[in-house]
Structure 1
Amino acid sequence: MSPTHTTDKAPRKLDGTIREQAADWLARQQSGTMSAAESDALEHWLQVDGRHRQAFAQCQQLGLMTAFLKDDPELNAGLPEIRKAVRRRSRFYSQWRWVSGIAAVVLVAVAALLVRDYYAIDYYQTGIGDQRVVHLEDGSTLMLNTDSRVGVRYRRAQRALFLERGEAFFMVAKNPSRPFVVNVQGSEVRALGTAFNVALQAGNVRVAVTQGVVEVRAQDAGGEPRQLAKMLPGQGVRYTAARPGDNSGVMPVNLEQVTAWQTRRIYFDNERLEDAIAEYNRYTTRKMVLVGDALADQRISGVFNIGDADGLAFALEQGFGARINKNNQRVLVLEPR
C-alpha cells in the first residue's frame, strides 16, 4: 500500500510523542540490527507526515553534536542528572524500549545543555559612526567603537567573547576562577581583572593594555596553543590573524592615541596621510578620498573630532596646500596646484 501524505496547508508543531518516536527510530537505525521490513516501516513513517522528517533530522543532528561534544567537561558535568532521568525512565520499558528511551532522554537533555551553554550568545554591535557601552552580567564593561560586533557567551568556567569585526575596549571584573577570554579569529586575548583594547581591521589585530596583565595566545603550526605576548599597562602587540606567529612582539603603545576614540576623537601621531584618511573614514559614511599619490606619504599629527570633516580638511589645506572639493556625499583631497 502506498503511503499517504498529509494535506494540511498550515504546518503543525512537533509534539513530544513525535520527538520520542523519532528518537526510537534513530536508535533502531543506529543499532545495526534493523531488518528490511523495519527499514521500509521507517521510510513509510518519514513519508506520512512532514513533522516526522523534521523530528528525525533534528535527532540525527543532536546525535552528531553529542558525539562531537562528548569530552567537553562542562557538558559532562550535567550527565549525572541525565543518567538519573534515564534510570527512572527505564523502569517502564522493555529491553528495546529501554534503549530507545535512553536515546530520547539523552538527546533532549543534550539539546537543553547545548542551547544553554553553547548557543546562548548575546551579540552587541554598532553602525558606522556609532559607539555603545554595554554593562555585562559579571560587572565587566564592554565599549564598542564604530562598525563593530562582539558576541558574549558566559559559561561556568569561562567568560568567552568574540570580536567579529571592529574595535572594543574591555574593563574586566576580577574573577580568578573564571577567565575572561576575547576570541579574535583563532587567537585569544586572556585577562582576569584588567582593562585593554582590541582592534580587528582587514585581518590585522592590535591589542593594547591600559591596566593589569593581558596574555595573547594562538595556535602554532602543529595546532598547539602558545603564548604570543604577555603585556603590562602601556604595552601592546600587533599581528595578522591568519599568521599570528608573525607579530610585532611586545612593544610600547601610546595609550592616549589608543583610547582617543572613547571620547570621540582621532589621534594622529606622525601617521602617513593615506593611513590617517583611512582611519577617519571608519567613522563616517561621508568618505574622504585622497586623489593621486602626491600627498599619500606626507605625515600628519594632531587630534581631530570624529565626524569633523571640515576641521580635518582645513588642516590639510593649511598644512599641505591640499585642494578640497566637498559635497554631502564625499570630500575630495586634491594635490596642490
Structure 2
Amino acid sequence: MPPKPQTESLVEAQASAWVARMYAQPDDAVRAEFLAWHDADARHAGAYLRAEAAWILLDRAQVLTHGSGLAGREVAAQLKRRKAERTRRYVLGGAMAASVAGAAAVGVTLLGRVTLETGHGELRNVPLEDRSMAAVNTDSRIDVAMKDDMRHVDLVKGEAWFQVAKNPDAPFVVTAGDIRVRAVGTAFSVRRHDGGADVLVTEGVVEAWSIKDPSRRVTLTAGAEAFVPAQDAIQSTHHPEEVERKLAWRDRQVMLNSTALSEAVAEFNRYNDREIIIADPALRSAELVGGFQVDQPESFVRAVQVALDVPVSIGEDRIIIGTVSAAR
C-alpha cells in the first residue's frame, strides 16, 4: 500500500520543527535528514518557507507552532540558558543594577519608605537600600521599608521579582493583601490577585501563608510555584522551566510553551495599549510555542496568522485574530 498522505497540519508542524533544528547549528547528519524531508513532498518547501517567515518575525525568538514537541524543547533549552545568564548577571549586585535602573526607576521617598511604581507597559530593575534587587513588572507598585530587624515590601498591585541580599538578622517579607512571603536570602516573585497571590521561587527557599489562615503556611524551594489564596489550601508544584517561562518578562519577553492562545493574548495585553482580541472562540485553546518581545504584538499576531492559518486585522487601537476587519 502507498504511504498515507500527511495532513496539512502535520506538514506545517514538521516544518516549524525543522526551522528550529536548522537554526540550532545542525551537524551534517541533521542537514542530510532535512534535505531528505524537504524533497520528499512538494508541500514541504512551501511549508518550510512559511515557518521560516514566522521565525524571522519573532526577532531572535523560537518558532511559533502548535503541537511540535521539538520546538517546545528548543524553548525549554532557551529558558535554561536565560536562567544561567540571569544568575551571572545579578550576582554582580548593586553596582551594575544601579547603572541599569538608576535613571529609569520611578520612586518616591517618604518617612523612610520608598514607593516604586510602573505604568502600563513599563518594567523596572531597581536596586534596594540593602543591596537586594527588585524587578517591577508592568502596572505595579511596591512600598519598601528597610529596618535593622525587618525588611518589608508591600506589593500594592501587580507583580515584582526580588533577589534578596542575605541578612539573617533582618528577614525579607513581602505583603500582598492578606498574603505573606518570607525569605532571608533568596530570589522569588509575587503577583497579586484579588483572591490571593502567585509565588514563584527561582533561588533558595521561601515561606508563604495567609494571615487569615496562618496554619496552612508552606515552604517553597527553588523551581516551585504556588497560588496562595486568602482562605483555602495552598496548592504548589515544582516546575523550574515553567517558573522561568513565567518570569521571562524580566527580559522583556513573553515565552510560550504549549500555551493556549487565550493566555498568550492576555499576557500581551498586560503590556500594550493596543488590545488583542480573539474573535473566534474556537481559537482560544490553540497551543503555541515561541518567544516574543513584550512590546511587539504585531510580530506575535503575524506569526499566529502564519502558524494557525487565520485572518488577522491590525487597527490603530486593537488587533483582531480571526476576523477580516478591525474597524469598529
Residue 149 (structure 2) aligns with: 157
Which runs of structure 2 are paired with 1:50-89 in the superposition (5 Å)? none
Q: Secondary structure at the match of 1:282?
A: helix
Residue 312 (structure 1) aligns with: 300
Alpha-carbon deviation of 1:119? 6.0
Residue in structure 2 matching 1:210, options 202, 223, 226: 202
The answer to whether the 8 A contact 2:216-2:233 is kept is no
Q: Secondary structure at the match of 1:249?
A: strand
Residue 261 (structure 2) aligns with: 273
Alpha-carbon deviation of 1:318? 1.4
Moved more, 267-276 or 145-154: 267-276
Residue 136 (structure 1) aligns with: 128
Alpha-carbon deviation of 1:262? 1.1
Residue 236 (structure 1) aligns with: 225
Which amino acid counterpart does residue 275 of structure 1 have in structure 2? E
Which amino acid counterpart does residue 185 of structure 1 have in structure 2? G
The answer to whether the 8 A contact 2:313-2:323 is kept is no
Cα RMSD for the two superposed structures: 2.0
Kindly indicate whether residue 251 of structure 2 is the aligned counterpart of residue 251 of structure 1: no
Looking at CA atoms only, which structure, 1 or 2, has the larger radius of gyration?
Answer: 1
Q: Distance in 2 between matches of 1:204 and 1:290?
A: 28
Residue 219 (structure 1) aligns with: 211
Q: Distance in 1 between matches of 2:305 and 2:316?
A: 19
The answer to whether the 8 A contact 2:179-2:196 is kept is no
Q: Distance in 2 between matches of 1:203 and 1:267?
A: 26
Q: Secondary structure at the match of 2:258?
A: strand
Residue 302 (structure 1) aligns with: 290
Higher relative contact order (CA 8 A, sep 6+): 2
Counterparts in 2 of 1:312 and 1:202: CA distance versus 1, 3 Å: farther
The answer to whether the 8 A contact 1:174-1:193 is kept is yes
Q: Distance in 1 between matches of 2:282 and 2:243?
A: 31
Q: For residues 241-268 of structure 1, give each alpha carbon's deviation from its aligned partner in whole angstroms, at most 9, with x where no partner exists.
A: x33x233234324233032111110011
Which amino acid counterpart does residue 234 of structure 2 have in structure 1? N
Q: Distance in 2 between matches of 1:291 and 1:202?
A: 27
Residue in structure 2 matching 1:198, options 171, 175, 190: 190
The answer to whether the 8 A contact 2:177-2:196 is kept is no
Which amino acid counterpart does residue 276 of structure 2 have in structure 1? M
Residue 334 (structure 1) aligns with: 322
Which amino acid counterpart does residue 325 of structure 1 have in structure 2? S
Q: Which runs of 5+ in 2 are unaligned?
A: 1-109
Q: Distance in 2 between matches of 1:136 and 1:298?
A: 41
The answer to whether the 8 A contact 1:229-1:237 is kept is no
Q: Secondary structure at the match of 2:300?
A: helix
- Structure 1 ranges of 4+ moved more than 3 A: 201-204
Which amino acid counterpart does residue 215 of structure 2 have in structure 1? R
Q: TM-score, normalised by structure 2?
A: 0.61
Which amino acid counterpart does residue 205 of structure 2 have in structure 1? V
Counterparts in 2 of 1:164 and 1:208: CA distance versus 1, 3 Å: same
Which runs of structure 2 are paired with 1:4-83 in the superposition (5 Å)? none
The answer to whether the 8 A contact 1:295-1:335 is kept is no
Q: Distance in 2 between matches of 1:326 and 1:314?
A: 10
Counterparts in 2 of 1:166 and 1:183: CA distance versus 1, 3 Å: same
